[in-house]
Amino acid sequence: MDLRLYDTLSREKRVFTPLDPNNVRMYVCGPTVYDFAHIGNARPVIVFDVLYRLLRHLYGADHVKYVRNITDVDDKINARAAERNIPIRDLTEETYRNFKEDVAALGCLAPDVEPRATEHIAEMKTLIERLVASGHAYVAEEHVLFSVPSMPDYGQLSKRPLDEMIAGARVDVAPYKRHDQDFVLWKPSKESEPGWPSPCGIATPGRPGWHIECSAMSWKHLGETFDIHGGGIDLVFPHHENEIAQSRCAFHAGVMANYWLHNGFLQVEGEKMSKSLGNFVTIRDVLKDWPGEVARFNMLRTHYRQPIDWTVKGLEESWKTLDEFYAAAGDVADKGVSGEVLWALTDDLNTPQMIAELHRLRAEVHSGAAGAPEALAGSLRFLGFLRETTAQWAGRRQAASNIDVSKVEGLIQERTAARKAKNWTESDRIRDALAAMGVVLKDSKDGTTWEIAR
């Protein structure tokens, strides 16, 4: 079963061929730990968690290495720590802890390695000195900058001419730059900021630029060239473009990663998420009102490369769907993931098709097909769902709605008996009583199911 992935660099869907099937390597850009992660940050975490699970299934859990970094040195971190009047380390530790709790609630496996930028300063300085020695970087006024013109094919990932990239980017204006698009590898630190001994003989303590951090951490944990680099579409330029430039020039390599994957943008209720619009939603905000499985399922309803509109209506629909899956397979012992579900995922993580296969399996459960409950349960657990018992899941519904589940189920049994006795008056009375409680009934040839009207 071939895995095909859309590569942003080549702009085509390609069969995935790892450099070493016994050591499949993936790097994904992680959070900058200065505040709660927003729901847009959750999208790459969930998307690449699904890919990680798939790679582990195809190549074996011991043969896949997933690295997701933590950026814990950054201007935003410095500003937030000063605003709160707390030590920078206290801020990054608190924020990192919150992030781990939030993504665990979303059903995401922990990466194999979660390196911190501040623990890889030595590797960053080594890369910087290599780049200076080879003529791809230069020292100017206690800064070290990458020389973009030194790389003739710079810009292959974003596929934009250099002058267009300059016009479309927020370029730091600095008199010491040789070229407008040159970017910082190292800069001097103020007394109030974190600082380390600088490379290249610079006397003033300094700190790394953002882009060099990921080049250093991926090199340290995955090697000079690896299989997959992932992140949000917003990182294509300048972050990933600059990572490629640094790594390729430092190692004189043709590629940094063989496949570049990027998830699409997320908007909220039809609008771009922003604090000024009042629709800025953190993962923690979502988890206050919705189970993590609901948020995870809602994220996967849209193909990862497409834009997603995050809505309350979508969350409600996702919860109802998971109610149906729990009812069909929540307490069933599984026998592994369905081949059809795997087939959908191997087509560039086609999660809409994957969900269609889950619905097909659910229909087979209701038709009494042998093995269907186990296949549905196995597929859902493989994807990070059915983490609770059916009773626990129903309890979530009850807690969210203050509905007495046992009372509802008792009334449904009474209504079923009334229908069998063709006592339609009593049947309708019970239906209306349940509706008044906020319960919607669905009758089918397989029986009656119910859900809460939200």
User: 410 and 365 in one domain?
Assistant: no
Gap between the Cα atoms of 156 and 148, Å rounded = 13
Determine the pLDDT at residue 168.
Answer: 45
Assess whether 379 and 316 both reside in one domain.
Answer: yes
Classify the C-alpha dihedral 168-173-177-183 as positive or negative.
negative
Torsion over CA of 402, 406, 411 and 416, rounded to 10 degrees?
130
How far is the C-alpha of 302 from the C-alpha of 306, rounded, in Å? Answer: 7
Residues 166 and 302 both lie in one domain:
no
Give the span between the Cα atoms of 293 and 356, in whole angstroms.
18
- Judge if 83 and 162 occupy the same domain: yes
- Residue 167: what pLDDT? 47
Structure token pair of residue 112: 């194999």
Total of domains in the chain: 3
- Final residue belonging to a domain, choices 235, 263, 291: 263
Query: Angle CA(264)–CA(267)–CA(272) in degrees, nearest 5?
Result: 115
Q: Are residues 385 and 432 both part of a single domain?
A: no
- pLDDT, tens digit (0-9, with 9 covering 90-100), for 273-328: 887 777 889 999 999 999 999 999 999 999 999 999 999 999 999 999 999 999 99
Conformational region of residue 349, where left means phi above 0, alpha means psi within -120 to 50, and beta covers everything else: left
pLDDT reported for residue 172: 63
Q: Are residues 351 and 275 in the same domain?
A: yes
The pLDDT of residue 128: 98
Whether residue 311 is found in the same domain as residue 419: no
Instruction: Indicate whether 321 and 203 sit together in one domain.
Output: no
| Same domain for 311 and 183 | no
In a domain, 293, yes or no: yes
Closest CA to 321 of 301, 345, 338, 344: 301
3's torsion region: left (phi>0), alpha (psi -120 to 50) or beta?
Answer: beta
In the numeric block, which tokens belong to residue 384? 């990070």
Task: Note every long-range contact of 357-361, with CB atoms under 8 Å and residues 24 or more positions apart, other chains counting.
Answer: 358/325
Sign of the CA dihedral with 395 first, then 396, 402, and 408 last: negative
Q: Residue 201: which residues within 8 A CB-CB, separation 6 or more? A: 139
Domain that holds residue 66: 4-263
Q: What is the DSSP letter of 171?
A: P
Q: Which of 240, 263, 286 is the last residue of a domain?
A: 263
In this structure, what CATH number is given to the domain that contains residue 213?
Answer: 3.40.50.620
Helix/strand/coil for 281: coil
User: pTM value?
Assistant: 0.88
Question: Does residue 396 lie in a domain region?
Answer: no
Q: Do both 345 and 385 map to the same domain?
A: yes
Residues of the chain with pLDDT under 70: 161-173, 401-402, 405, 452-454
- Sign of the CA dihedral with 179 first, then 183, 185, and 186 last: positive
- d(C-alpha 402, C-alpha 432), whole Å: 18
Cα separation, 301 vs 353, in Å, equals: 9
In a domain, 128, yes or no: yes
Shared domain for 292 and 198, answered yes or no, is no
Residue-wise pLDDT tens digits, 359-392: 999 999 999 999 999 999 999 999 999 999 999 9
Query: At which of 246, 263, 280 does a domain end?
Result: 263
Residue 397 lies in a domain: no
355 and 444 together in one domain: no
